[in-house]
Structure 1
Amino acid sequence: MDIKEEIRSIVLSSGADICGFANIDRFDNAPVGFAPTDIYKDCRSVLVLGVALPKGLSQVNPQLIYNYFNGNIVTMVDDILFRVAKKIEITFGGFAVPLPSDMAGSWNEETKTAHGILSMKHLAVQAGIGFMGKNTILCNEKFGNLMTVGAVLLNIDLQSDELCINHCPPKCHICIDNCPAHAICEDGTVNQTLCRPVAYGTTFRGYGTVECNRCRMGCPLRFGVKKNKK
């Protein structure tokens, strides 16, 4: 077993559902400030892992139950990233930099737009974990769009995994047509100024809620390419 597959085995045995790798050459055209080497200059490859939510959460009002576990899964992913990074350093030497899976590097209050330290979904695409639909949500062939992903930057030079085929049906516009805020654009972007006020709210005690996730749950690929069941 080569180093990459040994690392993959460590990741999957640590609780992740999926794991992929992208060599640093996959990010030659990344926007300035958003390449892995902008965070860690000696990065030679990126490990991306994902944890999927139970499909049952698609069957309930998203406001509270879905919101709770969709928020808590971030902590689960970060815990796996931390443990995996330490295990890689102990086993193979070198350095492993775990990145928080849901940390905004910047926030524009006027446009309600956040930018992560690095875009996890773009890292995931380059690592062959999935593809992005018209709603800009990452979708995996097996687990659909019910995933949270995180990444570890490595100074180990590993070969990239094969990129995932984009299975989003070209003529499907369900997410666009059913967005109550009309925030999903035909050019493959989402207007966060329109989306966030409709998608998120708070209870009378100030507890965060998810008020709308139609773009995720209405997608015919939400359970994966071959598990498209209502």
Structure 2
Amino acid sequence: MKKQIKDFILSLGADVCGFANIDRFLEAPAGFHPKDIFPDCQSVIVFGIALPKGLTKVDPRLIYGYFNNSTCPNVDRVAFRAAKEIERLYGGYAVPLPSDDPYEYWDSEKMEGRGLISMKHAAVLAGLGTLGKNTLLLNEEYGNLLTLGAILTDLNLESDPLAKSICIDGCSLCIQSCPTQALNGRCTNQAKCRPNTYGTNARGFSVVNCNKCRTVCPMRFGKRKQ
């Protein structure tokens, strides 16, 4: 069953796919546990679509910003179609989650938003990678270029093995390169990061002014691509 689900998700355009049984989410914060959304959830299927490596080689303002944002609808379409196929083939229920917004949690003082669940932590629990010091998921094959999606299901699926970290011991390039010093190696100060990163130009188009934490990482393309 897991192989069929994974193969179908990959056939829709995902680059990676992993599985985490609900027993791995014991430390999920209250309000952000998969069962807070879907009480019958027994497993979380996490997948990702990788950005082209070339987007790290250009100014982020327009081209990177556009495609980084537009990847989310592609991820959501995979989640929607896979959820329908899982229900068709195996019965039960499957709940696709939005890869980014909408979400409810917003701390205006800290400028901190939180998705319905933490996609990157779910990806870690599904064996797709570990978190780097820039707080981005680091995958062995695709580095930090994955946009993540997830499906909750009442199918009781076995967890995949956890991944080994590829974050380099002693490396602090992302922390040192952050123009607003928003990184401490464990979390991101969103009140410092957001105003420097996101904005609009004179025409009113959304722009991304900074992605240094992603592009300076020696593992940005993964361990096998260096």
Would you call these one fold, judging by a TM-score over 0.5?
Answer: yes
Structure 1 position 125 matched with structure 2 position 124: yes
User: Which deviates further from its counterpart, 137-146 or 100-109?
Assistant: 100-109
User: Which deviates further from its counterpart, 204-213 or 64-73?
Assistant: 204-213
**Which one of the candidate residues 26, 29, 51 is aligned to 1:28?**
26
Residues in 2 aligned to 1:102 and 1:198: alpha-carbon distance in whole angstroms: 20
Aligned to 2:64: 66
RMSD, aligned α-carbons: 0.8
Residues in 2 aligned to 1:14 and 1:115: alpha-carbon distance in whole angstroms: 27
Task: Render the CA deviation track for 1:123-153: whole Å, top value 9, x for unaligned.
Answer: 1110011111001011110011111000000
CA offset at residue 105 of structure 1? 2.5
Aligned to 1:153: 152
For the residue of structure 1 that corresponds to 2:167, the secondary structure is: coil
1:38-53 map, 5 Å: 38-53=36-51
User: Which deviates further from its counterpart, 18-27 or 201-210?
Assistant: 201-210
Residues in 1 aligned to 2:225 and 2:143: alpha-carbon distance in whole angstroms: 8
Aligned to 2:211: 213
Structure 1 position 168 matched with structure 2 position 160: no
Alignment coverage as a number of residue pairs: 225
Structure 1 position 196 matched with structure 2 position 194: yes
CA offset at residue 56 of structure 1? 0.7
Structure 1 ranges of 4+ moved more than 4 A = none
Residues in 2 aligned to 1:30 and 1:225: alpha-carbon distance in whole angstroms: 28
**Which one of the candidate residues 8, 14, 24 is aligned to 2:6?**
8
Aligned to 2:177: 178
Residues in 1 aligned to 2:191 and 2:64: alpha-carbon distance in whole angstroms: 23
CA offset at residue 156 of structure 1? 0.3
User: Which deviates further from its counterpart, 123-132 or 105-114?
Assistant: 105-114
For the residue of structure 2 that corresponds to 1:226, the secondary structure is: helix
- Normalized against structure 2, the TM-score is what? 0.97
- Normalized against structure 1, the TM-score is what? 0.96
Structure 1 position 97 matched with structure 2 position 95: yes
Residues in 1 aligned to 2:199 and 2:26: alpha-carbon distance in whole angstroms: 38
Residues in 1 aligned to 2:210 and 2:75: alpha-carbon distance in whole angstroms: 23
CA offset at residue 25 of structure 1? 0.2
**Which one of the candidate residues 74, 79, 82 is aligned to 1:81?**
79
Equivalent AA in structure 1 for residue 70 of structure 2: N
Task: Render the CA deviation track for 1:58-98: whole Å, top value 9, x for unaligned.
Answer: 11000000011001100000001000000110011110000
Task: Render the CA deviation track for 1:1-35: whole Å, top value 9, x for unaligned.
Answer: xx111111111111111100000000012111111
Residues in 1 aligned to 2:104 and 2:12: alpha-carbon distance in whole angstroms: 27
**Which one of the candidate residues 219, 225, 229 is aligned to 2:223?**
225
For the residue of structure 1 that corresponds to 2:156, the secondary structure is: coil
